[in-house]
Amino acid sequence: MKYAELGAFLRSRRERIRPGDVGLPAGPRRRVPGLRREEVAHLAGASVDYYNELERGAGSQPSEQMLAALARALRLSADERDYLYRIADRPVPVQGGAASHVHPGMLDLLGRLTATPAQVITDLHVTLVQNPLAVALLGDHSGFQGPRASLVHRWFTEPDARRLYPEDDHEGKSRSFVADLRAAAGRRDADDAEVGSLIRTLLRVSPEFAALWADHDVAFRRREDRKRLVHPALGPIEVNCLHLFSEDGRQRLLWFTPAVGTDSAGLLELLAVVGTQEVVEPAG
């Protein structure tokens, strides 16, 4: 019963949420308010048996990734998320990492964007959560940990990270990533360890990044950005990428719409049929 408080806390948070709050139909014959256990398990990507054990205060210690998924499924506030980690004997994640707290309002908007690819990322291009169509369009980013969680890091250190974009666009994307990173660094504290470590690592391992960083270009991504993407099954897709920024600028909700004058609308509709594209992990 080591995690009895953890189970009680999860149960209390589950019971306060209405199905409509997380994009689920209310349905008939709900005898009590709140979500069912199987619904929370589905939203968090866990098995029903495993989630039942957590609510009983039994079973093994949940991983940090599972705690992050539960915090998002239950729409926890930042204080509630921190408390969840502490009673599970896990360190509270630093803001900006792959397990960063996503504002419930952004999660609500993401849940309503069911017909278009959408995801929430940090200002360092760490993907926090994706809807199924974003996974199908961009690949599943949930497995990247540590420095590799940042797409900027992967872009300058792993050739496979560039497969999503036509080769003709790589130079422009590199410049855009570096200018956006400099803008993000300027908005953070001067002694911010996360952005400082990312910049120092890239300066050391990537001559391309070092040369672009020396240009001192600075520019946040525009709120609307036209992109050419290369899907492994559907081929080139031209989309508009729209950005909604959090108040502090550290998180962005991105959603993708077909570019006018192209056949991208039909291709995006096929994403649900094609399913998740494979993200190739480099050797080692």
Please give the Cα distance from 23 to 75 (Å, whole number): 12
Can you give the pLDDT at residue 133? 93
The dihedral of CA 269, 149, 50, 54: what is its sign? Answer: negative
pLDDT of 99: 57
Q: Which residue ranges does the chain devote to CATH 1.10.260.40?
A: 1-92
Residue 245's pLDDT is 87
Q: What is the pLDDT of residue 49?
A: 92
CATH of 1-92, one of 2.40.30.170, 3.40.50.2000, 3.40.50.300, 1.10.260.40: 1.10.260.40
**Nearest CA-CA partner of 228 in 215, 238, 218:** 238
**CATH number for the domain running over 102-272:** 3.30.450.180
For the chain, give the mean pLDDT: 86
d(CA 150, CA 15): 35
State the span(s) of the chain assigned CATH 3.30.450.180.
102-272
If you compute the radius of gyration of the chain from its CA atoms, what whole number of angstroms results?
20
Give the model confidence (pLDDT) of 155-205 as tens digits.
999 999 999 999 999 999 999 999 999 999 988 887 888 899 999 999 999
Chain segment 101-160, per-residue pLDDT in tens: 787 778 888 888 888 999 999 999 999 889 999 999 999 998 888 889 999 999 999 999
Question: Whole-model pTM above 0.75?
Answer: no
